[in-house]
Chains A and B, each alone.
Chain A
């Protein structure tokens, strides 16, 4: 009986050692993979505090009309949501913009880009505006024109609810208006 009791102890000890070793090996291997795949790459946070295209929700325009949903995770940050963002489809949006926009004597040429977020209810906000001339240099276009475009773009009726895993999500999108002498000649992307 005593010998049997001793064997059990030994068996448990060996088993614990093996399991312990396997757990450490697994953690070690996972750590090694993580390190080589991601951890070893440094981020220069002074130059890149966030991913390219990040919208600072504190400083963005129209940031107090709506709330981001859930844990505030934002989808579609890679290139916006050209196939999911528009209510119905982009043709509907384009036609509506052309119907609403009025060139009130503007002579600007270049692009006006609106980068923004849409929450899980399809409500847009958190706008950033980029204004460039035809040579892609930053400029200030006519204030009233930009304000008119912002008003049109921020109309919630244009934006669809994007769902993933059957749940509505917050998402990123951008709209770029190509302007020639105050006329919208292209709506991108």
Chain B
């Protein structure tokens, strides 16, 4: 038994020795290519660490120290501040990312301005800059064309003409390149809202129908806005039916929303209650079946 204990102790010590071993690296001795590769390894190797944790932030800083041109790492330094409501610190870090690689990170900063700060003018300025930075190429920060984002930003500014024109541009391009079914359905929702705000109900209805078509007839927003328009057209019964369906879709989670922030023109149950009351009190008593 005594021997056995010695074996275990030896194995344990060996294990500890391996665990604590650490490779020392002299970054200055590395070539530019080697630094780039190592920086990526340090950055990517810690991508699983909790965002904004001391270990994660330290590994990002280390990646930048190895290769200051690792603009992905420079940008990543800003993200936790963005999500946690610390714009003073976010701005400093995101500006460094834009300085590092404007073509990639300026339109992305525009996306941040748009959604996290509702700073439509600054967002548009960044989206517009991407036209010059990457001529003949439509950037797509966070997966959507800058034209789509501009459509939303101008809607936020209540410049409905420009909003519609950017959604037109986005939808035309994506339809020509891949087909309309590849378009983000909320482009129809938001263009429809822009038409609705302009009281161009016919065009708005076309867009809400498209939204419903591509969402397999499940969209509280599409049905709610159609109900609003039908109320205006005094088709009260259809408006009521649509509103009831909108409430069901909403309850089942089929409504426009975003992960970290309230979306533009977010609908709430209060909207349904208000419209319901208006339909009861204001909508002419025709086409009704109580």
- List residues of chain A with CB under 8 Å of any chain B CB: 13, 16-17, 20, 24, 27-28, 31-32, 35, 37-45, 47-53, 77-80, 82, 89-92, 111, 113, 115, 130, 132, 136-138, 172, 174-176, 178, 186, 188-189
Over the window 223-265 of chain B, the binary record of Cβ atoms lying under 8 Å from chain A Cβ atoms (1 yes, 0 no) is: 0000000000000000000000000000000000000111000
Say whether A43 contacts B85, CB under 8 Å: no
| Contact residue among A35, A41, A113, A172 (Cβ-Cβ distance under 8 Å from B49) | A41
Docked Cα-Cα span, A138 to B91, in Å, equals 11
When the two chains form their complex, are residues B84 and A79 in contact, meaning their CB atoms are under 8 A apart?
yes
- Return the contact of A43 from the options B4, B54, B266 (Cβ within 8 A): B54
Task: Knowing that A43-B53, A53-B80, A176-B117 touch, tell me 13 more A-B residue pairs with CB under 8 angstroms.
Answer: A16-B4, A24-B15, A42-B59, A48-B57, A51-B54, A82-B262, A89-B269, A91-B270, A115-B84, A132-B88, A137-B91, A176-B87, A189-B262
A52→B118 contact, CB < 8 A = no
Main secondary structure of the interface of B (DSSP, over half): helix
Complexed CA–CA distance, A111 and B53 (Å):
26
Chain A proximity of B268: nearest CB distance (Å): 4
**What's the minimum C-beta distance from A145 to chain B, rounded to whole angstroms?**
18
* B141 sits at the interface (CB 8 A): no
| Closest CB in chain A relative to B96 CB, distance in Å | 13
The closest CB in chain A to the CB of B20 belongs to: A35
Q: Which residues of B contact A189 (CB under 8 A)?
A: 85, 116, 260-262
Known A17-B4, A48-B54, A188-B118; judge A138-B19 contact (CB<8 A).
no
Smallest distance from the beta carbon of A134 to chain B beta carbons, Å? 8
In the assembled complex, which residues on chain A have CB atoms less than 8 Å from the CB atom of B85?
53, 80, 113, 115, 130, 174-176, 189
Closest chain B residue, CB of each to CB of A130: B88
Give, as a whole number of angstroms, the nearest-CB distance from A123 to chain B.
20
Closest B residue to A92 by beta carbon equals B270
Q: Which of B15, B86, B91, B260 contacts A52 (CB 8 A)?
A: B86
**Are the C-beta atoms of B57 and A52 separated by less than 8 Å?**
yes
- Name the B residues within 8 Å of A24 (CB-CB): 8, 11-12, 15
Number of residue pairs across A and B with beta carbons under 8 Å?
133
Q: Which of B8-39 contact A (CB under 8 A)?
A: 8, 11-12, 15, 19, 22
In the complex, which residues of chain B have a beta carbon less than 8 angstroms from the beta carbon of A82? 260-262
Check A178/B117 contact, CB under 8 A, given A48-B57, A80-B85, A136-B88.
Answer: yes
The answer to whether A188 and B15 have CB atoms under 8 Å apart is: no
Instruction: Select one of A49, A53, A188 contacting B86, CB under 8 A.
Output: A53
Contact across chains for B88 and A138 when beta carbons are under 8 A apart: yes
Measuring CB to CB, which residues of chain B are less than 8 angstroms from any residue of chain A?
Answer: 4, 7-8, 11-12, 15, 19, 22, 46, 48-59, 61, 80-81, 83-88, 90-91, 116-119, 260-262, 266, 268-270
The CA of A78 and the CA of B83, in the complex, are separated in Å by 7
Contacts of B15 on A, CB cut-off 8 Å? 24, 27-28, 31
Q: For B53, list chain A residues within 8 Å (CB).
A: 43, 51-52
A48 and B118 CA atoms in complex are apart in Å by 29
| CB of B66, distance to nearest CB on chain A (Å) | 14
CA distance A42 to B55 in the complex (A): 6
Q: List 10 A-B contacts (CB under 8 A).
A: A24-B12, A41-B49, A45-B54, A51-B54, A80-B84, A82-B262, A111-B117, A113-B85, A132-B87, A138-B88
Which residues in A have their C-beta under 8 angstroms from that of B88?
A: 130, 132, 136-138
B87 partner, pick from A13, A89, A113, beta carbons under 8 A: A113
Please tell me if the beta carbons of B59 and A41 are within 8 angstroms of each other in the complex.
Answer: yes
A30 to B13, CA, bound (A): 16
- The reply to whether B52 and A51 contact each other, CB–CB distance below 8 Å, is yes
Whether A113 pairs with B19 at a CB distance below 8 angstroms is: no
Smallest distance from the beta carbon of A50 to chain B beta carbons, Å? 7
Q: B46, B52, B54, B90: which has the most chain A beta carbons within 10 Å? A: B54
Residues of B within 8 A of A92 (CB): 270
